[in-house]
Homo-oligomer: A and B are copies of this chain.
Amino acid sequence: MLKTAIEMDKAALILKLLGDKTRLTMVKILDKHDCCVCEFVEIFKASQPSISQHLRKLRDVGLVKEERRGQWIFYSINKTHEYYPFVLQLLEQLPDQGEKLKQLEESGSRITCC
C-alpha cells in the first residue's frame, strides 16, 4: 500500500469538516455501519434538511458515499478516499458510538431493508 503524503491544506480542510460534533459522530458511526438519513435524524434529534446538509459536506469532499436502497438512501464511508487512513487513525481514538444504534434498534427505528 502506497502511503500518500498528506498536504497541510487538505488536512486542515478535513479537520475543519470533522470539527463539528454532528459530522464527527456521523463519520465515527459510518465507519462501522452504513446508515440512512432518517436514522441520523433520529440519532441526532435534528431536522432532516440539517442532516442532509451535513452529509452533503462530507460527500462533497468524498469522505462518504451514498447509495439508494429502495426508499432510502444509505451513506457509507469511502474507504478508498486518499485521506481515509488519516481519518481512520483519528476515529480510532474516539469512543465507540454503537450504543446510539442500539438505542435506535430498541426504539424500532433502525432501518434494515435490502
- B25 near A8 with CB under 8 A, answer yes
Bin chain A's interface residue count.
20 to 34
- A86 near B95 with CB under 8 A, answer no
- B86 near A7 with CB under 8 A, answer no
Q: Quick one: CB contact mask for A1-22 with B, threshold 8 Å, 1 for yes?
A: 0000111110111111111110
7 examples of A-B residue contacts, CB within 8 angstroms: A5-B95, A8-B95, A12-B18, A12-B20, A15-B15, A15-B90, A18-B19
Shortest distance from the beta carbon of A52 to any chain B beta carbon, whole Å:
20
- B5 near A12 with CB under 8 A, answer no
- B21 near A18 with CB under 8 A, answer no
Q: Of B9, B18, B89, which is within 8 A of A15 by CB?
A: B18
- B24 near A19 with CB under 8 A, answer no
